[in-house]
């Protein structure tokens, strides 16, 4: 297949039947566009925010100016995107350059990083060669499935073929995967490569979404490195793309080694919090009282959709069973559930069948469900959980990712931390200090105040 003058592969019409769509931005009527159907009136529009130079959604360029192939432009517009966000505008021209350069890209939660790396993968694939050419790793099957849905939507006008590398996705009898783009989790990806079901010799793009988590030795670092070590080496090695909303210091050095000479887009500490998310706390009397407060909140949790984060699977199970037994409809999701059940639960939540999802850190990162307007940290996220004698420091990165499940792409949201003793109080103060952002108190016995706060925030 021929490359066009910009160096991008140009699929011919014979490659696949492509649906027709104009390569034009969707009509943006300025006021009250794009934003969620909230019961509370939305006053600031996406269009307004994309004009504001201080917003992470701001851009001066159009998608046309970013050097995308026409088929991908159609895909972008078909998804309803009218203007790029700041990270898309800044990253895409660097990502699409010839020769390819590595990238370490940071931008706040919900600001459109997925589109930036998905468009890069789609731009670099030669659709006439039926071999894997782009691999993308994510920390959870839920996120891998979500990324795949973006690949499929954005690639709708191309002949792209895709495959998952997640548990139970590839039958044991499969001997070879010929899809162009493979999205998965590191364990299954390593297994498929080791068994030579995935031939990596033609891989030219390697993406780590939630890269700090994927590289962290406390996280998925070993497994990710194992995948990388199977890929072609320089000078024939792939373009390496690392994206996340957070890059804590202890991972940065390793990220630099993993993606040498990368172009970098970084955030300052004071830019990490998303302005549209109102961060609050409720001072519970003790650990048991947290449950009562959660139940009291139920009517507000179901105004839109909510995610309740617990530190342990057992807590998620316990509170979801208790709430269900008391007649409150909730769903619960964690890593101990089997693959098909996990898919069913997250799909049900995505479709709005369940309004409250009780979970663990398994879906703290990346999950994009626009109707989620409330996140509750039933337990604050902690570091070093497994280390004996660790003094239970808060995990500021995970905190940012958890609350970032709301307030997506300019929407408003509320996060509520439950604190119940001196230790949790101090942990919350450490989070406040780390982010330079005040977390506001809401009284536990004043539902009216809570409702007021919610109305104000979601306006
Ligand atoms: N240019 C755009 N115009 C309108 N909506 C967009 C645009 N880019 C992305 N979006 C939407 O914004 C939402 C958030 O995007 P995405 O999930 O890529 O965020 P993210 O930066 O990867 O967040 P996280 O750090 O939580 O993983 C998605 O629903 C996506 O469809």
Q: Per-residue pLDDT for 402 more than 80?
A: yes
Mean pLDDT of the chain: 89
Q: Per-residue pLDDT for 34 more than 50?
A: no
Beta bridge partners of 227: none
The rounded distance, in Å, linking the Cα atoms of 232 and 236 is 6
Ligand 1 atom at shortest distance from the alpha carbon of 209: 27
CA separation (Å) from 54 to 48, 274, 405?
Answer: 11, 12, 21
Q: Per-residue pLDDT for 332 more than 70?
A: yes
Do residues 366 and 143 make contact, with C-beta atoms less than 8 angstroms apart? yes
Q: Ligand 1 pocket: which of 106, 114, 120, 372 to mutate (most atoms <8 Å of CB)?
A: 114
- 25 secondary structure, DSSP code: P
Name the most confidently modeled range: 37-41, 50-54, 432-436.
Answer: 432-436
Distance 113 CA to ligand 1 centre (A): 6
pLDDT in tens, 346-364: 999 999 999 999 999 999 9
Q: In what side-by-side order are the strands of the sheet with 162-165?
A: 162-165, 181-184, 134-137, 205-209, 239-244, 103-106, 263-265
Q: Per-residue pLDDT for 15 more than 50?
A: no
| Residue whose tokens read 């998905």 | 118
Distance 111 CA to ligand 1 centre (A): 5
User: Confidence class of residue 20 from pLDDT cuts 50, 70 and 90?
Assistant: low
Residue 194: φ, ψ to 5°:
-60, -40
Q: Per-residue pLDDT for 147 more than 80?
A: yes
Distance 109 CA to ligand 1 centre (A): 8
Average pLDDT over residues 286-309: 95
Which residue's alpha carbon is at the smallest distance from atom 14 of ligand 1? 110
Q: Report the percent of the chain where pLDDT is more than 70.
A: 89
Which residue's alpha carbon is at the smallest distance from atom 16 of ligand 1? 112
Average pLDDT over residues 423-434: 96
Give residue 49's pLDDT: 79
Give residue 391's pLDDT: 67
Q: Per-residue pLDDT for 2 more than 70?
A: no
The rounded distance, in Å, linking the Cα atoms of 254 and 217 is 10
Which residue's alpha carbon is at the smallest distance from atom 9 of ligand 1? 112
Give residue 37's pLDDT: 38
Q: Report the percent of the chain where pLDDT is more than 90.
A: 79
User: Confidence class of residue 8 from pLDDT cuts 50, 70 and 90?
Assistant: very low
Give residue 9's pLDDT: 33
Do residues 265 and 105 make contact, with C-beta atoms less than 8 angstroms apart? yes
Distance 55 CA to ligand 1 centre (A): 14
Q: Per-residue pLDDT for 388 more than 60?
A: no
Give residue 5's pLDDT: 36
Q: Residue 402 contacts by C-beta under 8 Å, 6 or more apart in sequence?
A: 307, 309, 361, 364, 375, 377, 381, 415
Write out residues with Cβ below 6 Å of ligand 1.
81, 83-85, 88, 107, 109-115, 245, 366, 368, 370, 404, 408-409
Beta bridge partners of 265: 105
The full set of domains in the chain, from first to last, is 42-271 (3.40.50.300), 277-458 (3.40.50.300)
Which residue's alpha carbon is at the smallest distance from atom 29 of ligand 1? 368
The rounded distance, in Å, linking the Cα atoms of 283 and 253 is 38
Alpha carbon distance, N-terminus to C-terminus of the chain: 51
Beta bridge partners of 242: 104, 208
The rounded distance, in Å, linking the Cα atoms of 437 and 411 is 19
User: Confidence class of residue 385 from pLDDT cuts 50, 70 and 90?
Assistant: low
Using a 10 angstrom Cβ sphere, with 0-12 exposed, 13-18 middle and 19 or more buried, the burial of residue 392 is: middle
CA 38 to centroid of chain Cα atoms: 22
- 277 secondary structure, DSSP code: E
Give residue 21's pLDDT: 58
pLDDT in tens, 149-189: 999 999 999 999 999 999 999 999 999 999 999 999 999 99
User: What is the per-residue DSSP string for 121-190?
Assistant: HHHH--TTS-S--EEEE-SSHHHHHHHHHHHHHHTTTS---EEEESTTSS-TT------SEEEE-HHHHH
Ligand 1 atom at shortest distance from the alpha carbon of 79: 31
Q: Per-residue pLDDT for 136 more than 70?
A: yes
Average pLDDT over residues 300-306: 94
Q: Which segment of 11-15, 32-36, 129-133 scores lowest on mean pLDDT?
A: 11-15
pLDDT in tens, 55-99: 888 877 899 999 899 999 999 999 999 999 999 999 999 999 999
Distance 230 CA to ligand 1 centre (A): 31
The closest of 148, 155, 159 to 75, measured between CA atoms, is: 155
Distance 141 CA to ligand 1 centre (A): 18
Q: Per-residue pLDDT for 134 more than 80?
A: yes
Residues in the chain: 459
User: Confidence class of residue 449 from pLDDT cuts 50, 70 and 90?
Assistant: confident
The rounded distance, in Å, linking the Cα atoms of 105 and 265 is 5
Q: Which segment of 51-55, 220-224, 399-403 scores lowest on mean pLDDT?
A: 51-55
Which residue's alpha carbon is at the smallest distance from atom 8 of ligand 1? 112
pLDDT in tens, 258-279: 999 999 999 998 899 999 999 9
* Alpha-carbon torsion (149, 154, 156, 160), positive or negative: negative
Q: Per-residue pLDDT for 43 more than 90?
A: no
Distance 117 CA to ligand 1 centre (A): 11
Give residue 13's pLDDT: 30
């Amino acid at each position: 297949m021929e490359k066009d003058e910009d160096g991008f592969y140009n699929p011919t019409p014979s490659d696949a039947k492509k649906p027709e769509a104009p390569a034009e931005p969707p009509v943006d009527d300025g006021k009250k566009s794009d934003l969620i159907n909230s019961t509370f009136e939305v006053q600031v529009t996406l269009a307004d925010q994309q004009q504001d130079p201080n917003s992470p959604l701001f851009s001066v360029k159009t998608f046309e100016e970013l050097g995308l192939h026409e088929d991908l432009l159609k895909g972008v517009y078909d998804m309803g995107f009218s203007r790029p966000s700041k990270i898309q505008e800044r990253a895409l021209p660097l990502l699409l350059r010839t020769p390819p350069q590595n990238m370490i890209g940071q931008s706040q939660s919900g600001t459109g990083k997925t589109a930036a790396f998905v468009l890069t993968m789609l731009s670099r694939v030669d659709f006439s060669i039926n071999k894997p050419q782009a691999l993308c790793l994510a920390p959870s099957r839920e996120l891998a499935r979500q990324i795949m849905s973006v690949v499929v939507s954005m690639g709708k006008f191309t002949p792209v073929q895709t495959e998952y590398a997640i548990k139970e996705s590839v039958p044991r009898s499969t001997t070879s995967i010929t899809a162009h783009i493979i999205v998965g989790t590191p364990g299954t990806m390593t297994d498929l490569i080791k068994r030579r079901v995935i031939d990596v010799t033609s891989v030219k793009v390697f993406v780590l979404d939630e890269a700090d988590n994927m590289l962290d030795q406390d996280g998925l670092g070993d497994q990710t490195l194992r995948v990388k070590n199977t890929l072609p080496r320089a000078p024939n090695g792939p373009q390496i793309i690392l994206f996340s909303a957070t890059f804590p210091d202890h991972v940065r050095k390793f990220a630099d080694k993993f993606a040498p000479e990368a172009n970098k887009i970084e955030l300052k500490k004071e830019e990490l919090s998303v302005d549209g998310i109102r961060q609050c706390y409720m001072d519970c009397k003790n650990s048991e009282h947290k449950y009562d407060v959660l139940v009291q909140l139920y009517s507000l949790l179901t105004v839109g959709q909510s995610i309740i984060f617990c530190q342990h699977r057992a807590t998620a199970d316990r509170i979801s069973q208790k709430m269900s037994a008391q007649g409150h409809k909730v769903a619960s999701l964690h890593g101990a559930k089997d693959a098909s059940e996990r898919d069913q639960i997250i799909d049900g939540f995505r479709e709005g069948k369940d309004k409250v999802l009780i979970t663990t850190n398994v879906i703290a990162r990346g999950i994009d469900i626009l109707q989620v307007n409330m996140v509750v940290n039933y337990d604050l996220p902690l570091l070093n959980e497994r280390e004996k004698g660790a003094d239970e420091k808060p995990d500021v990165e995970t905190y940012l990712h958890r609350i970032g499940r709301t307030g997506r792409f300019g929407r408003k949201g509320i996060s509520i931390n439950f604190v119940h003793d001196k230790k949790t109080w101090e942990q919350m103060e450490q989070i406040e200090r780390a982010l330079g952002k005040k977390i506001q108190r809401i009284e536990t016995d004043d539902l009216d105040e809570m409702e007021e706060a919610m109305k104000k925030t979601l306006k």
